[in-house]
Structure 1
Amino acid sequence: MPPGNGPPAFDDKHFQFLRRLSASDFRLGRRFTGAEAQHLIETFRAIRDTIREGPAHFITYPGTQDQVFEYGSGHIRSSNAITLDLNFLKAVGTLRVPRHVWDALTRHASWIEPSILSRWVELLENYDGTAPPGAYRDALSWPNVEHSTREVRTLAAQLQESGGPLYCVWSGKRLNDGYDIDHCFPFKHWPNNHLWNLLPAASGINTKKSDRLPSAKQLEAAAERIQGWWHRAYQQTDYETRFYEEANAALPLSLDDTSSLEDLLTGLRRQRVRLRTDQQIAEWSTA
């Protein structure tokens, strides 16, 4: 903030209370109760108001008073227990980004992002002047998402130990010890460790697939095996809520209590097309 303006509007006792939690504590599907839930609700209310009265209001198209972003404030109800799911986040509010702005940011991010960050760092340094060199740039850098399949690999091993067979989703081959957990959509192009994106695959096939995107034909050939893995690994288990919340957040679909794994697979198909169109990722198939 500029000198004399005080701390950010949302940096109050509620926000400070939540500093004791790590970033991973705020994953989708996480449930909060008691004091944590109350502090989280008040923090979201303050952030909502800051967005509405600040950037959503003041960011306009050049030379006009027309706001770029359409912001709709939600109504967050007080509660002693909340779950970070789609319904709660909708209650916080909605921010509509014009499609042409979204497309431009997506396709030209490698040029736009460095320019915005440089200007923002310069602005902060002018406001403050006491931070060591590089401090603001370090603070604004995106955290590295770990390329991790450890949790799902452990789950796959447990399913094997229970006596059930494990199959490669891409070939249908039965797996023994030598297998990998593959990112359906390559991590290099779309860093995502969600449960729905992690699939058991033969090591040789996973190596050949590498950082390529499964073709539409390949995805259809594997559709039944993918749904079979999802059903066995996540449905009616402790992972089920998290599985659906992650899918609902990342894939272009809207799940409800009547949704099926086929609905989720439809979202997978749509996201594959998006990645292929927007990033021109090379395709792969076993044929």
Structure 2
Amino acid sequence: MAPQFYNDNANELAQQYLSKSFEEVHQSWSEFLPGIIKNPHARILDLGAGSGRDAKYIAQLAIQTHRDKNNTQVFAVEPADMLAELGARQTSGLKVKWLTDSLPALSIITKQEVSFDLILLSAVWMHIPISDRARSIRKLANLLKPGGKLVISLRHGQTDEERQTRKMHNVCADELKSLAAGVGLFTLLETAKEADKLGRNHVSWQTVVLQMPDDGTGAFPFIRHVALNDGKSATHKLALLRVLLRIADGHAGAVLRREGDRVILPVGLIALYWCHQYKDLIDTHKIFQTPNKSPNMGFMKANGWHKLTHRTASDYCIGNLFTGDDAIALHKTITSAVSNIKTMPCRFITQPNSHQPVFEVASKTVKAKDSIFLDLQTLAQWGEFSLPEATWLAFNRYACWIEPVLVSEWVKTMASYAGNSHYKSPEKQYHLHQALNWLEPKRTTTEVRNRFDQLKEVLPAQEQIRCVWSQKSLKQKYDIDHSMPFARWPNNDLWNLLPTDSKINNQKSDRLPTEQKLKQAKASIQHWWQIAWLDDTNILTNQSAFLKSVKPAALLKNEQRQRFFAEANIALPGLSSDNSSVDDLFEALMMQRGRLKEMQQLADW
């Protein structure tokens, strides 16, 4: 596409597009639309949204269908800024989010970490060069939900001038269907060529509707095969799969970028969580992870792992600070873990019937220092880890189904090792299940409760802390609520823990706040974030006794602010690693609410 042409002629083109209604232009496939809109939480992408005609129609249809229970989201993507500006005016007041992006990369949309029930490409495909079409269809397929539909209108016929000024190319339905079949989409509808609605004799149109099968891309059965059937001389493969699942499910912001059909993550984060999950298994529970008689594994070095036996698994989490000898030992531990991941599971997990590795590591040498703050930027120093986008999406979408498979197989594998023979009987394997808990009980709401109690003592009377959901004053009995329910999405980050009236918290239980309720609580939530973690005060925070003994309160406060944003920026979708905006954070929280609703079908509150 040539955005310059569309910007230069934006007003004329917008009038032309708006002269025809949605029903006139899309009559051939509109029979599918009511079934999609029937879902009050549908997510729709209008790619090449132009003047906003189609986005407006779909958003209004959703309102008519669901009225005040409408949670449909429409994303309108338009690469020509002037057209997008006119389109945004058309959809003003409707639930339409406008973004500037384009195929084949779609980097902005992809960063949102969301998937769609419907993707509409109206008069777009002819702008994509043949060389970019395979990559484009892969990207579109990866953005579809299982069962989602992709509607592409094909323009046949261009003048030489249109080819030059508007960057148009020939299109072919058979070529499109072949590309779609290669990424697992099937053809639901292919219309005959129809006359141009604007009366241009040299132009005709054809519509192809493609659909993603409900069983997805084949990544899910592949993951299941590695977990259940692949040879396991140690628990390395299961450990890597579980780490990737936990990052995909809980850290949407961890993606550094996408290249082609691969997702790039910081390998330091993989290594940190590798150590996190092995820490209690090995140091606390003394459970063997290989058939060997030695409990030592390749990444457990004398100058690294074994100098940190006084640390717990919860120390190996985003937002924590290590100093002195502990920092140097952690540097060496992460380096050893990166090496072990690269040479063991990444080397031996290969594509079916192939020696081609599924996962790749490009590691870097990192010099040990006497201070390490665990955030995305720090962990990216060790290099990069890449995996197929389809595998990443399977972890992301099916985490609640995949994790029990991984944990169950890990328990069976550990019980089969000679060093763990006392756990062989099924009735004793509950201990192995317990040892595989990802989060320790102590990393729950205690720290936030302590912070609440500190603030209650020092804040002036007119600044009483109130329930974020009901605005009731919290004087005596209160709870700390996980805004995104912990039972469904285990997350003890500071941004997710909010002071709440006990009665209100009981009513909310494990339900997900509606979009409307979350929006209504925005000011209260942001106020709590500000006074508890971000304001420049000298109130001591609930840090370790060691830190308090060597650091002034102002420095502790800065570290706490760092931790707050480090946790949020990696957990929530669409945030940059250096984000420090609570408004952007709240928008990402809204997006995460939508993702959880879609993936887990949680009950609304």
Question: For the superposition of Structure 1 and Structure 2, which TM-score range results when normalised by the shorter chain?
Answer: 0.7 to 0.9
> Structure 1 residues 145 and 5, CA, compared in 2 at 3 Å: closer, same or farther?
closer
Q: 1:165, 1:100 → 2: CA distance?
A: 48
Q: How does 1:1-287 map to 2 (within 5 A)?
A: 1=290, 3=292, 7-13=296-302, 14-105=304-395, 108=398, 112-117=402-407, 119-120=409-410, 128-134=417-423, 138-139=431-432, 141-143=436-438, 145-146=440-441, 148-162=444-458, 163=460, 164-235=463-534, 236=536, 238=557, 239-255=560-576, 259-284=580-605
Q: 1:122, 1:201 → 2: CA distance?
A: 41
Which structure is larger by alpha-carbon Rg, 1 or 2? Answer: 2
Of the structure 1 ranges 274-283 and 178-187, higher mean CA displacement relative to structure 2 is found in 178-187
For the residue of structure 2 that corresponds to 1:275, the secondary structure is: helix
Q: Displacement, 1:244?
A: 1.2
> Structure 1 residues 155 and 273, CA, compared in 2 at 3 Å: closer, same or farther?
same
Of the structure 1 ranges 225-234 and 51-60, higher mean CA displacement relative to structure 2 is found in 51-60
Q: 1:79, 1:144 → 2: CA distance?
A: 28
TM-score scaled by length of structure 2: 0.43
1:251, 1:268 within 8 Å by CA — same for their partners in 2? Answer: yes
TM-score scaled by length of structure 1: 0.86
Of the structure 1 ranges 198-207 and 210-219, higher mean CA displacement relative to structure 2 is found in 198-207
1:166, 1:175 within 8 Å by CA — same for their partners in 2? Answer: yes
Q: 2:513, 2:374 → 1: CA distance?
A: 31
> Structure 1 residues 274 and 33, CA, compared in 2 at 3 Å: closer, same or farther?
same
2:299, 2:333 within 8 Å by CA — same for their partners in 1? Answer: yes
Q: Displacement, 1:110?
A: 5.9
2:362, 2:384 within 8 Å by CA — same for their partners in 1? Answer: yes
For the residue of structure 2 that corresponds to 1:234, the secondary structure is: helix
Q: Displacement, 1:73?
A: 1.8
Q: 1:213, 1:114 → 2: CA distance?
A: 22
For the residue of structure 1 that corresponds to 2:421, the secondary structure is: coil
Q: How many residues align?
A: 283
Q: Displacement, 1:4?
A: 9.3
Q: 2:579, 2:437 → 1: CA distance?
A: 36
Q: 2:456, 2:300 → 1: CA distance?
A: 48
Q: 1:88, 1:213 → 2: CA distance?
A: 33
Gaps of 5+ in 2: 1-289, 538-556
- Root-mean-square deviation (CA, aligned residues, Å) is 2.8
For the residue of structure 1 that corresponds to 2:479, the secondary structure is: strand
> Structure 1 residues 256 and 142, CA, compared in 2 at 3 Å: closer, same or farther?
closer
Q: 1:228, 1:177 → 2: CA distance?
A: 20
Q: 2:403, 2:420 → 1: CA distance?
A: 22
Q: 1:75, 1:266 → 2: CA distance?
A: 36
For the residue of structure 2 that corresponds to 1:283, the secondary structure is: coil
> Structure 1 residues 199 and 120, CA, compared in 2 at 3 Å: closer, same or farther?
closer
Q: Displacement, 1:16?
A: 1.1
Q: 2:448, 2:584 → 1: CA distance?
A: 22
**Alignment deviations for residues 231-252 of structure 1 (CA, whole Å, 9 cap, x no partner):** 1111035231221121123212
> Structure 1 residues 133 and 262, CA, compared in 2 at 3 Å: closer, same or farther?
same
Higher relative contact order (CA 8 A, sep 6+): 1
**Identity among equivalent pairs (%):** 39
Q: 1:283, 1:30 → 2: CA distance?
A: 33
> Structure 1 residues 65 and 257, CA, compared in 2 at 3 Å: closer, same or farther?
closer
1:48, 1:93 within 8 Å by CA — same for their partners in 2? Answer: no
